């Protein structure tokens, strides 16, 4: 019989996707682990107005603990409360007291409790450490029992092991079919090409190339931009800006346009094998997906038949200009079948459970 694990998770937010691109990933993984019988407590700081922009109420598949973000003592009290669990996870990018939490998770854990660092943005973390030999996290990596990553494949695994990680295993994004699925068409999201993503420094130039440039090349086509931070960006007149799109609207956003665009951040594209949540959300809705080119895409979707791949903005424009509604439907349906068969959070949770179960057994 498998062991039922008590897991404590320190992350950015489970209940709010506001300025929190990892929300869908956290929800999918945590919910699927709960469905497999494990008990999860998710600790998140009251920061960045996320509690004022909640997408979901506290779920019945996890206990959510929201703590104040002003004092170190409050964060340390949360780690102390979590320290007796079987597995204590510190995710990257909590956004408040990250260095403190990374150290405290190791120092305050009790005998028998195992510490995991779960990197939801490994390319950014690794690039940061490579730039700064004095980065305090460098000395902590060998002290964690395990490093899990949002993606990255062999390049990320090798990089972490070179920095002293005992073990590093990618746990990729996936689809939760109970959350992301086909929705009726919504006139708010009518467009030929839609892109959803927050404005971030290492994404902006790629958005200009892969989204705004095609909009300029195809002035008679309709483009839709969703996400936070683009309000003061100069955009072509055929681009409609929506602002923040709440999670409960994502299905209609992905189901309605002719095609949906994925643009990886520069660091993720460089490392490869890092499919963002948007790919699986779009596939869950049966959307015809166009993505920028990155190594490893074929591990998830077959280029040409399950996804359209573009090298630059000119490629995006050409793909879109030749795309019929019939072909878009065929590609979207093929992607939907592939993702359901191989890439759901149920698949990912089984992988996590196998990793944690064998590792806990070996540690006894």
CA distance 197 to 243: 10
The DSSP secondary-structure symbol of 159 reads: H
- Give me the helix-helix angle, 122-131 and 153-162, nearest 10°: 40
- Give pTM, 2 decimals: 0.90
Chain centroid to CA 280? 10
DSSP H or E stretch at residue 8: strand 6-10
For each of the chain's 364 residues, which pLDDT tens digit applies? Answer: 367 999 999 999 999 999 998 999 999 999 999 999 999 999 999 999 999 999 999 999 999 999 999 999 999 999 999 998 999 999 999 999 999 999 999 999 999 899 999 999 998 999 999 999 999 999 999 999 999 999 888 999 999 999 999 999 999 999 999 999 999 999 999 999 999 999 988 899 999 999 999 999 999 999 999 999 999 999 999 999 999 999 899 999 999 999 999 999 888 888 889 898 999 999 999 999 999 999 999 999 999 999 999 999 999 999 999 999 999 999 999 999 999 999 999 999 999 999 998 766 555 4
43 token code pair: 């600790």
218 token code pair: 């195809």
Tokens 């008590």 belong to which residue?
A: 6
Structural domains for the chain: 6-174+344-363 (3.40.50.2000), 187-342 (3.40.50.2000)
Q: What are phi and psi of 339, to 5 degrees?
A: -65, -40
Residue 200: Cβ within 10 Å count: 17
For the CA atoms of 84, 350, 295, 93, what is the dihedral angle to 10 degrees? -20
Can you tell me whether residue 318 is helix, strand or coil? helix
CA distance 249 to 244: 10
């Amino acid at each position: 019989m498998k062991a039922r694990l008590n897991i404590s998770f320190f992350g950015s937010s489970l209940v709010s996707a506001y300025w929190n691109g990892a929300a869908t990933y956290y929800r999918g993984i945590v919910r699927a682990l709960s469905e497999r019988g494990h008990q999860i407590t998710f600790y998140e700081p009251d920061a960045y107005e996320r509690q004022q922009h909640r997408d979901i109420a506290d779920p019945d598949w996890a206990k959510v603990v929201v703590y104040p973000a002003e004092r170190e003592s409050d964060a340390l009290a949360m780690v102390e409360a979590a320290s007796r669990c079987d597995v204590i996870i510190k995710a990257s990018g909590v956004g408040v007291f990250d260095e403190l939490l990374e150290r405290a998770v190791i120092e305050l854990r009790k005998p028998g409790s195992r510490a995991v660092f779960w990197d939801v943005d490994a390319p950014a973390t690794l690039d940061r450490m490579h730039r700064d030999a004095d980065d305090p996290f460098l000395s902590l990596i060998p002290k964690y029992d395990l490093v899990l990553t949002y993606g990255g494949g062999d390049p990320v695994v090798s990089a972490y092991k070179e920095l002293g990680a005992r073990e590093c295993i990618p746990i990729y994004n996936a689809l939760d079919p109970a959350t992301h699925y086909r929705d009726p068409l919504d006139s708010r999201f009518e467009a030929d090409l839609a892109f959803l993503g927050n404005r971030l420094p290492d994404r902006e130039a790629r958005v200009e190339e892969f989204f705004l440039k095609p909009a300029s090349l195809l002035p008679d086509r309709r483009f839709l931009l969703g996400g936070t931070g683009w309000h003061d960006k100069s955009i072509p007149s055929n681009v409609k800006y929506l602002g923040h799109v709440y999670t409960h609207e994502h299905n209609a956003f992905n189901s309605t346009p002719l095609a949906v665009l994925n643009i990886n951040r520069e660091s993720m594209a460089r490392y490869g094998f890092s499919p963002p949540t948007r790919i699986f959300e779009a596939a869950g809705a049966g959307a015809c997906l166009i993505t920028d080119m990155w190594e490893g895409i074929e591990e998830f979707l077959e280029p040409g038949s399950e996804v359209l791949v573009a090298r630059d903005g000119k490629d995006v424009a050409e793909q879109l200009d030749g795309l019929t509604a019939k072909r878009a439907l065929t590609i979207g349906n093929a992607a939907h079948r592939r993702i359901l068969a191989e890439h759901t959070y149920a698949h990912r949770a089984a992988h996590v459970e196998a990793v944690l179960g064998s590792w806990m057994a070996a540690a006894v």
